[in-house]
Structure 1
């Protein structure tokens, strides 16, 4: 015979006066547990290693970026310096072509004879121009090179009066200046390659220059006819034969501003062809990138005899 079990009430049930029964509290056991000291130390160690790797990658990236920027800066400075020097070298010795030496009337202008004005005498403080003496000159210690060419005015579209458009290496002189010669002198002062001309103050055209060397390609007068011989010499080797200079070789050594780690045996070949150990350099050049730049600029025909 099946009997039905009476369920136990959820709350206290009174069984008469003074009698009651409580529900059994069946609460599971809950224990709160944290990290142990060893687990905490392992976590901190892993975190520090991750940060160290990230910092190392950041430093390597920064070093590579700095080196690339340093290289780009050196190349830009060298390119600018060579462009300024080359512009003046290619113009050195040029003279004025007078399109109307006999003051021809306008309708006969294109049939009038023309003439080259080769020499303009100096007058007081006004610089004249003589191609035999003012085209090019230089010294060895300190290394300098001075270039000159004829200054003249010409008709321009933007002005009713004739204007002088040619300028020296520092962008002068202005149109009001009466000098008949444009003059540019390049020299190394400390670590700055500077240029001056026409009584203007010297201005820097390149910084961090370790070496500035100028060599002159001098044509030999005793060479076989039709087979000229050109010999590279310094300013002392030219002597008084500046009219025989056919080309000029310019060499620059520039160094960077970023400190780099130099491996053993790091060296470069300077303008004189000597190997320089960069680990022996001190001061501002210590642990710096060095780069050598050379360029040869051909002179315009000076039209001077070998005896000049």
Structure 2
């Protein structure tokens, strides 16, 4: 007789309570992982929205900054008459088309116009260089699509093109110099008595994300360009203020 025929084999498995406990623990792990994923996804969307807001503000402010720095600047004119070579310095700005102008009002009216000689820099706010006019005049304003737009006012066929999206408000202040008292006073465009005495411009943009981010929270410490409380509708909002000096306004202050 074979010695293996009398051996019995015992089989051991999981009991029903053990299976139920294991399934419950597995479901808890899955639920925790799902919650973490959802939170991470919302955080990523919030960070992406904030990054887009900052990127739009950077583009708009950099564009204005570049046009302000060439506004009212002179350029060198070379003359060669009968073998006599001379170099002259142009006027800082054209009396008929001044380097700085502005319109004060609500977000649909506020505008800023910056001018410079075409011979100094051929590029306008849109990046165009084909103008044949002596003066490049870049005008900035908001459009109805919440975009900061601009165009060269001297180009008859030019249309306003968007520079940055999500811009809800665009406000400006001007630092007007008083040479007699050697002081500066911040004013709106309608308060400025002489734009030729303005030495700096404060640009304020209130920018919102295009898409909503539902986990954003309101912050009472964050204010808009006109000191208004920012809306809390699920969008990321930031207010950006920059002061840019008109460095070509020499001789304004004694």
CA distance in 2 between counterparts of 1:115 and 1:24 reads 118
Output one character per residue of 1:168-196: Cα deviation in whole Å (capped at 9) or x when no partner: 0001241xx42111110111113111111
Q: Please report how far the alpha carbon of residue 270 of structure 1 lies from its aligned counterpart in structure 2 after TM superposition.
A: 1.4
With structure 2 as the length reference, what TM-score do the two structures score? 0.83
* 1:291 pairs with one of 205, 224, 238: 238
Say what the alpha-carbon RMSD is for the aligned residues: 2.9
Q: Please report how far the alpha carbon of residue 260 of structure 1 lies from its aligned counterpart in structure 2 after TM superposition.
A: 3.8
CA distance in 2 between counterparts of 1:305 and 1:39 reads 87
Is 1:103 the equivalent of 2:77?
A: no
Q: Please report how far the alpha carbon of residue 28 of structure 1 lies from its aligned counterpart in structure 2 after TM superposition.
A: 4.2
Local SS of the residue matching 1:134: coil
Q: 1:249 to 1:65 in 2, by over 3 A?
A: same
Is 1:69 the equivalent of 2:45?
A: no
Is 1:214 the equivalent of 2:172?
A: yes
Task: Please say which of residues 249-258 and 179-188 is displaced more in the overlay.
Answer: 249-258
Q: Please report how far the alpha carbon of residue 82 of structure 1 lies from its aligned counterpart in structure 2 after TM superposition.
A: 1.0
| Alignment match, 2:119 | 152
Q: 1:131 to 1:38 in 2, by over 3 A?
A: farther
Q: Please report how far the alpha carbon of residue 39 of structure 1 lies from its aligned counterpart in structure 2 after TM superposition.
A: 3.2
CA distance in 2 between counterparts of 1:266 and 1:37 reads 56
* 2:226 pairs with one of 272, 280, 293: 272
| Alignment match, 2:205 | 252
| Contact 1:96–1:116, Cα closer than 8 Å, also in 2 | yes
Q: Please report how far the alpha carbon of residue 132 of structure 1 lies from its aligned counterpart in structure 2 after TM superposition.
A: 5.6
Q: Which protein is bigger by CA-based radius of gyration?
A: 1
Q: 1:49 to 1:235 in 2, by over 3 A?
A: same
Q: Please report how far the alpha carbon of residue 62 of structure 1 lies from its aligned counterpart in structure 2 after TM superposition.
A: 2.3
| Contact 1:168–1:184, Cα closer than 8 Å, also in 2 | yes
CA distance in 1 between counterparts of 2:20 and 2:91 reads 90
1:1-308 equivalences in 2 (<5 Å):
10=1, 26-30=5-9, 35-100=14-79, 103=81, 105=83, 108-109=84-85, 112-117=86-91, 130-131=94-95, 133-141=97-105, 142-152=109-119, 166-174=122-130, 177-190=131-144, 191-197=146-152, 198-199=155-156, 200-223=158-181, 228-239=182-193, 241-256=194-209, 257-263=211-217, 265-274=219-228, 276-279=229-232, 286-302=233-249
Output one character per residue of 1:225-265: Cα deviation in whole Å (capped at 9) or x when no partner: xxx111111111115x1111111110111122350424465
Relative contact order (alpha carbons < 8 A, sep ≥ 6): 1 or 2 greater?
A: 2
- Gaps spanning 5+ residues in structure 2: where? none
- Gaps spanning 5+ residues in structure 1: where? 1-9, 11-22, 120-129, 154-164, 280-285
| Contact 2:42–2:213, Cα closer than 8 Å, also in 1 | no
Local SS of the residue matching 2:215: coil
